[in-house]
Structure 1
Amino acid sequence: MTDNKLNYIGPIPKMLTFEQDRPAWWKRIPVAALLVVALPTLLAAIYFLLIASPRYVSEAQFIVRSANQNAPSTIGAALQGVGLAPTQTDAFAVHKYITSRDSLRELSQRYEMSAILAPPGADAFSRYPRPWEDRSTEGLYKGFQRFVTVGFDSTTGISTVRVEAFRARDAQALTEALLAGGEQLVNRMNDRAAADAVAQARQSQEEARTRLGAAQMQLTAFRNREQFIDPELAAREGSQLIGGLQAEVAGLRAARAQVASEAPNSPQLSTFDARIRAYESQIDTERARLAGAAGSLATKISAYESLALARELADRELTQATAAVINAEQEARRQKLYLDRVVSPSLPDKPAQPRRWAAVLTVFVSSLLAYGVGWLIWAGVREHRQD
């Protein structure tokens, strides 16, 4: 008698394979990944794709240069090629002005900045003020800085100013106003530099003119007091007179000697002697008037020469000061700065900000990196505990 066998053909029951049911894929995602990666990316996508207000960007480029700025040398061009061009501090002054409170105050005098930075319909995280900001002057300044940026290219020396606004016309108007304010700042810097340089030169010129006038007055007072226009000329005339008298004395002595040799007892000899004594007395008088006596011309000439020298020095100083004024004016013109517009403020025809998909991708990549770093740290801590 044979036994009948029952054979089962079909899938093996799960209870016999000891296999467990695998959860759904979304249940296998770690909660930390959802919180660190998925949630921020979702919020960023909702904000940037659905809520963020479009902003228009107006851009302008300018360069600040001096009138005598020369082309760079071969070495300078090589340094510029590797990004080692010298910085332009004057351009940086314009940069600071554009993002300063002064520029905001001047813009507020022309435009209603609160209305431009917070028009109807703008989202709460883009406009001014944001939910955590207050409506104050300092808050307006901080909000203004979010909408204005200035950059500088060290290889070309060109500066770029970018202004964001919720309307295209507002962005262009603000950019134009900021450039106009920068030009006014450069003009004020030119005026102040020229005024300082020329003012110092003019002050030296006035001081030299004052000293020349004082020296001339002293010389005039001396002439009036001594009744001499030029004591040196009087001394020369006195010397010529003494020379003439000596020549007369020599002639008389020669004539007397001739008469005495021909007629020793001639009555003319006494006449010659009287005339010689008179001439010699006059010579002594003229010599005493020139030098030796307390009131002689030598003392007066010394004082006159001192006064004349002081006047000559003052005159030279005035000449040099006048030349310095002319040089200062010319140098001020050569050193004058100019703000030249390379690119005028543009009128955007479509919004450039925010870059929605780029912003979402940035949030996703950043969150993913943060999660990866955190997971590596946690894995290292867990392995250390197991050891």
Structure 2
Amino acid sequence: MDEPRRPTKVMAWIKRRSIFLGVVMFPTLIAAGYYGLIASPQYLSQAEFVVRGQASQTPGMLAGLLSPSGGGGSEDTYAVQDYVTSRDAAHLLIQTQDLKDVYDTPNADIIARFPNFYSGKTFEHFFSYYKKHVKAELDTTTGLSTLQVRTFNARDSQRIAKALLTAAEQLVNEMNARQRQNMISASLREREAAIARLKAVNNKIDSYRNQTVMIDPQRQSQPLLKDIAGLETMRMTTRVQLEQLRKSTPNSPLIPVLTRRMSALDLEISQSSKKVAGDDNNSFIPKISGYEDLIFQRQLIEREVSTADAALDAARIQADRQQLYLDEVTQPDLPDYAAYPRSIANIAIVFATMLSIYLMGALIIAGAREHKSV
């Protein structure tokens, strides 16, 4: 009874061995052949940078512990990181550094280059390829961002990394300009509005002067007031003389003269007083009141202009204090040897993956057979 079963077991062992060779070893041998004989070396250039600014400095230990990033990094740092791996950066490098030619080179193998036989040639396909070869990561502990650029030539990797840092610095400068403009624009608009109001009041004052034919009604009324005061003094002197004559010499011929002088002075004082405080529009009082009201308005607006000037200066100082800076902690290096592909690790990953698939399939088949036998 054992003789017929032995060939069956041998056939099953050969079948399992064939499946193992086909599922596990064959893909592993293909991977070993590619990474060992075909895969092109890829060079990694690395640089470290940090985005600094007085506004984003660590305010204290408690604030650092409570901050979302754990005390390292800021929104501006994340913005710079996102930019170097963005479509805009890829477009810029294509235009200024011939980035597509860097990856479409005879030095690259047919699988690792772009374009290759299994991908498209559109910009979206290139951008997906770009994000695999250009990376920016933030260390939240130290606050340092690490830029990594991988190409098929050491000098190309260094050149592209330098170009990305230059573009990132330009982005920071643009962010500074926008931030400065946003901080100053409100104060500048308020100052311009105050100056416009001041010009409007000055125009009203000019129109009022043309209407009244007076430069300064209050100042121009001073001579008339002095004349009235002089007439009042003369009238008082004349009245005193007249009273003395009436008491000492009632029949003096000077009494009628002084009486007529008194009447003339009274008439002159009355007419002059009407010019200053009369009811008609020709008197000085309404002209002085209207002029003083306009002058008071101008003084208030001049204070507003002074306040707006001070606020604008303060906004400029604050904007200067909040300037951002991109500090290159380490320059993009020129790699001495190829960091990719990691042949042994990749071959091991292929072997482990296919072995896992093989073992899972074997367990599933064994379980199915056991269930069928039951």
- Could you tell me how far apart the structure 1 residues matched to 2:272 and 2:177 are? 65
CA deviations 1:55-98 (Å, max 9, x no partner) are: 11000111112255434302134457x95237522222222321
Q: Residue in 1 aligned with 2:288?
A: 301
Aligned residue runs from structure 1 range 72-151, under 5 A: 72-79=59-66, 84-85=70-71, 87-151=73-137
- Could you tell me how far apart the structure 2 residues matched to 1:115 and 1:217 are? 67
Cα 1:269–1:384 change in 2 (3 A) is farther
Q: Residue in 2 aligned with 1:326?
A: 313
> How many angstroms does 1:275 deviate by?
2.2
Q: SS where residue 47 of structure 2 aligns?
A: strand
CA deviations 1:185-233 (Å, max 9, x no partner) are: 2222223333454455445544444443343243234334423332223
TM-score by length of 2: 0.84
- Could you tell me how far apart the structure 2 residues matched to 1:25 and 1:91 are? 61
Cα 1:42–1:65 change in 2 (3 A) is same
Q: SS where residue 143 of structure 1 aligns?
A: helix
> How many angstroms does 1:346 deviate by?
0.7
Contact 1:67 1:338 in 2 (8 A): no
2:201 to 211, 215, 218: 215
1:264 to 239, 246, 250: 250
Query: Which deviates the most, 333-342 or 236-245?
Result: 236-245
- Could you tell me how far apart the structure 2 residues matched to 1:209 and 1:193 are? 25
Does 2:213 match 1:227?
yes
- Could you tell me how far apart the structure 2 residues matched to 1:271 and 1:40 are? 141
Q: Residue in 1 aligned with 2:261?
A: 275
Contact 1:117 1:128 in 2 (8 A): yes
- Could you tell me how far apart the structure 2 residues matched to 1:87 and 1:370 are? 42
Q: Residue in 1 aligned with 2:324?
A: 337
Q: SS where residue 249 of structure 1 aligns?
A: helix
Contact 2:64 2:70 in 1 (8 A): no
2:178 to 189, 192, 199: 192
- Could you tell me how far apart the structure 2 residues matched to 1:328 and 1:83 are? 28
TM-score by length of 1: 0.81
Q: Residue in 1 aligned with 2:352?
A: 365
Cα 1:279–1:35 change in 2 (3 A) is farther
- What letter matches 1:117 in structure 2? Y
CA deviations 1:309-331 (Å, max 9, x no partner) are: 33323433333333344333323
Q: SS where residue 149 of structure 2 aligns?
A: strand
Contact 2:58 2:71 in 1 (8 A): no
Q: Residue in 2 aligned with 1:7?
A: none
- Could you tell me how far apart the structure 2 residues matched to 1:361 and 1:236 are? 106
Gaps of 5+ in 2: none
- Could you tell me how far apart the structure 2 residues matched to 1:90 and 1:98 are? 13
Cα 1:79–1:100 change in 2 (3 A) is same
- Could you tell me how far apart the structure 1 residues matched to 2:182 and 2:69 are? 35
- Higher helix proportion, which one? 2
Q: SS where residue 47 of structure 1 aligns?
A: helix
Q: SS where residue 108 of structure 2 aligns?
A: coil
Query: Which deviates the most, 159-168 or 258-267?
Result: 258-267
Does 2:320 match 1:348?
no
Identity rate, percent: 35
Q: Residue in 2 aligned with 1:254?
A: 240
Does 2:160 match 1:174?
yes
Q: SS where residue 118 of structure 2 aligns?
A: coil
Q: Residue in 2 aligned with 1:45?
A: 32
Query: Which deviates the most, 291-300 or 83-92?
Result: 83-92
Cα 1:363–1:28 change in 2 (3 A) is same
> How many angstroms does 1:364 deviate by?
3.2
Gaps of 5+ in 1: 1-13
Contact 1:122 1:166 in 2 (8 A): yes
> How many angstroms does 1:298 deviate by?
1.6
Aligned-pair RMSD on alpha carbons?
3.4
